[in-house]
Amino acid sequence: MIDISKYTKELSNLFSASKNILIICHINPDGDAVGAQLALYHYFKSKGKDVSLMAPNHLQEFLKWMDGADRINIFIKDRKKGLALIEAKMIRPGR
């Protein structure tokens, strides 16, 4: 049996040590993906983190009412900005 507590502890340590976080959802995001992404965004913002959001492609219109949906960067709309966000938020040893 896998001891999941080891992995949750590791993940918790990564988030605690990270100031910059980029949350990316899957392609053709549905309500679950966008809702989870925005929930994490608001949680990390409340912890003082610098958080950015990205979706690979456009959100469906009926999802845009969610608080923070307007903050989601659409990669196919602005690839240069998307690549810059990925580069800026990457974890590097000693950073």
In a domain, 56, yes or no: yes
Q: Which domain holds residue 40?
A: 18-89
In a domain, 23, yes or no: yes
What mean pLDDT do residues 38-67 have? 94
DSSP 16-83: HH-SEEEEE--SS--HHHHHHHHHHHHHHHHTT-EEEEEESSPPPGGGTTSTTGGGEEETTT-HHHHH
pLDDT recorded at residue 91: 67
| pTM (two decimals) | 0.84
Return the closest-CA partner of residue 69 out of 43, 31, 26: 31
pLDDT recorded at residue 92: 64
In a domain, 9, yes or no: no
pLDDT over 80 (residue 66): yes
In a domain, 74, yes or no: yes
Return the closest-CA partner of residue 71 out of 26, 15, 23: 23
